[in-house]
Amino acid sequence: MNALWEFLSFSDPNIRYVALGSVLLTASSAIVGSFTFLNKKSLVGDAIAHAVLPGICLGFLMAGTKNPLALIAGAFITGWISVILVEYITNKTRIKEDTAIGLILSVFFGIGILMLTVIQKGGNASQSGLDHFLFGKAASLVGSDLITFSIVAITLLVVVFILFKEFSLLAFDKDYARSIGLPVKWIELSLTSLIVLAVVIGIQAVGVVLMAAILITPAAAARFWTDKITVMFLLASIFGAISGLSGAFISYTAPAMPTGPWIVIVISTLAFISFFFAPSRGVIGRYIRQARIRKTINDENVLKIIYQLGEENKNFFIPRLTDEIIRKRFYEKAALVKILKRLTRQGYVERTRNLWGLTEEGKNRAQRIVKIHRLWELYLTTHMHIAPDHVHEDAETIEHLLTPELEEQLEQLLGYPKVDPHQSKIPYADN
Amino acid sequence: MNTALEIHDLTVAFDRKPVLWNIDLMIPQGKLVGIVGPNGAGKSTLIKAAMGILPLSSGYVKLYDQPLESVRERISYVPQRESVDWDFPASVMDVVLMGRYAKLGLFKRPRKADKDVAIDCLKKVGMEGFINRQISQLSGGQQQRTFLARALAQQADLYFMDEPFAGVDAATEKAIFTLLREMTNQGKTVIVVHHDLQSVSQYFDWVVMLNTRLVTSGPTSKTFTSENLEATYGGKLTLLTDVADLMRRENYPNREENVIKS
């Protein structure tokens, strides 16, 4: 706990730098990655991430030290080559994109590991720490490295800000973008460069192997919460930043621990929370809505049965025994009583000892359901020429669903008919 | 009669396989034009090629007697509704504003005036009540109207529309037709890929009948005849299809000059 407090107080300047750096890198990767996500190119991000490893080794071999600029340049070059190769293979051969990505990813990563091993065995003292690029080490983000990487991150954010309108249009409707004469090739080129750069700087914190997670997961998680693209990008960057910060904390408290896996665990947790708990798109939200619909259907069916019993006696307000209702349509007694109690609470049903009767409001609601049911049956027979003995099931669902506007349309279309195909009277609210 | 669109000896190929062969075509200004033909006839390909979205294997396209590049701001394109993912995080307003991007140019954000135009166009298609609605929540007819509003926001003179009547309700179809009629009455040219043969005579002044080659093109009253329909829809040109497949298999160039170049 003390360590957390010490970390969060940011009293140690080193902690400040590492935290700031990690947040900047992960947030900018998340923002650029959001476009990969919207373009449905998530796997390309993964291919690039793996393909930068040989570039980093190459940069190191050229410079002889871990000069960040040399590493970035090398990574940028091999990252780009991988994109070009994936595109070339997809366009010029019958191999599909997913296979091409799989091929390129493993070939480049294999070469990268090979080069890394050679360098490590080579005895160059300054190579130590190069393997941090595999799984990430946020704590190594200090000094001039931090400055270089931060400048790249800020450049990314600025370019995304400037080209936001164009990037979004391309993700939504590329043909249209071409038709209005936008330089689609150039815009795509700059987006790919941004992705490569985001990967190149992100691997400091996350590492090559898990880099795709920080590109894609924040966007995927953010999408659950909103339908607005700007809000989605904001959320993605916040999710990215949170995971970056936690990665920095781990790296600070347990220096032997690689940062990448921790960042991925945090961002994945955020994604799972979004997946389950996001209000409109989340799984639980959907489930609750479904349950509410089922409740409404059950309630309205019971009201309808009491109403139909009333039709037989020409009096809708006679209180009924549960057995009378069950005779008309089977329910488990306990379940039925539960529904009746709910309807009583809502004021649609009144209870006198073991008898249940409709209130005025209950009668009106039931009447509307019965009316829609019969109107819909008539509509199916007259307008869709479905046999009268086949229309009941369909009307059973529609009666709960129809909005007042559609209900009115239906009435007008049919001209307020008196009876349904089975010669049952259609009850209107006025009489 | 002034020409809106002229297509000369146009061939378009996918993966070496020609889907349009040697199209020669002229369409006058101010007409409501229907492009009809069976599935796979190359109707969408024709307008995509005309808009420069697809590369041409041979031939050229002229709009208002000029190449596309010099008159692009006078041309608008409405893609097929199904060609985009409507689950994209955007509102109706966002989509219609895209119609202003050509006028805005790169880097610039939509201004107040662009929003005014967008709202105006949404009113024209009867979508003013849906300005802030998420596009994922629109019905098929509303999606189509949104695309039309985006095209209108370009304030163009020539409109290419890929199946604007596909999968829309009767009310939307009527509203769209009325709108297109108004546009042609103002001297604009509207070229529509169309599927429903029933409504061709009623809707269009001019009809282009297509089945990988051009069957015929002309005023609907003279052109839309049963013989031409027979030629467009009946009797597949099996030999032509076989040759096209062969070109794809053998990886053959579509024109000999391509060989000399490479």
Q: Chain A contacts of B77, Cβ < 8 Å?
A: 175-176, 179-180
B95 in contact with chain A, both atoms CB, cutoff 8 A: yes
Is A65 or B242 the better-scoring residue by pLDDT? A65
Tell the CATH topology of A285-358.
Answer: Arc Repressor Mutant, subunit A (1.10.10)
B155 in contact with chain A, both atoms CB, cutoff 8 A: no
Write down the CATH number for the domain with range B3-257: 3.40.50.300
Nearest CA in chain B to A227: B89
For residue A332, pLDDT beyond 60:
yes
For residue A431, pLDDT beyond 50:
no
Distance from CA of A287 to the nearest CA of B (A): 19
Q: What is the pTM of this model?
A: 0.84
pLDDT of residue B262: 44
Sign of CA dihedral A355, A358, A359, A362: positive
Nearest CA in chain A to B92: A228
d(CA A393, CA A372): 13
The arithmetic mean of pLDDT across residues B186-192, rounded, is: 95
Q: How many Cβ atoms are within 10 Å of A130's Cβ, its own excluded?
A: 18
For residue A354, pLDDT beyond 90:
no
Is A339 or B242 the better-scoring residue by pLDDT? A339
Tell the CATH topology of A363-414.
Answer: Diphtheria Toxin Repressor; domain 2 (1.10.60)
For domain A14-278, the CATH superfamily is ABC transporter involved in vitamin B12 uptake, BtuC (1.10.3470.10)
| pLDDT single digits (tens) A161-184 | 999 999 999 999 999 999 999 999
pLDDT of residue A252: 80
Kindly tell me the number of DSSP H helices and DSSP E strands found in chain B: 12, 9
pLDDT above 90 coverage of chain A, percent: 46
For residue B251, pLDDT beyond 80:
no
| pLDDT single digits (tens) A117-136 | 998 888 777 777 778 888 88
A383 in contact with chain B, both atoms CB, cutoff 8 A: no
Contact: A38, B95; criterion CB under 8 Å? no
Q: Chain A contacts of B75, Cβ < 8 Å?
A: 179
- What number is the ipTM of this complex? 0.89
pLDDT of residue B258: 56
Contact: B85, A168; criterion CB under 8 Å? no
| pLDDT single digits (tens) B15-54 | 778 889 899 999 999 999 999 998 888 999 999 999 999 9
B89 in contact with chain A, both atoms CB, cutoff 8 A: yes
Distance from CA of A398 to the nearest CA of B (A): 18
For residue B164, pLDDT beyond 90:
yes
Residues whose CB is less than 8 angstroms from the CB of residue A296 and which lie 6 or more positions away in sequence, other chains included? A400
In chain A, which segments carry CATH 1.10.3470.10? 14-278
For residue A300, pLDDT beyond 80:
yes
The arithmetic mean of pLDDT across residues A195-209, rounded, is: 86
End-to-end CA distance of chain B: 41
pLDDT band at residue A393 under the 50/70/90 scheme? confident
Is A88 or A14 the better-scoring residue by pLDDT? A88
Q: Which amino acid is located at B204 in the chain?
A: F
pLDDT above 90 coverage of chain B, percent: 68
Tokens of A317: 């307000």
The arithmetic mean of pLDDT across residues A5-26, rounded, is: 82
Q: How many Cβ atoms are within 10 Å of A299's Cβ, its own excluded?
A: 20
Distance from CA of B228 to the nearest CA of A (A): 31
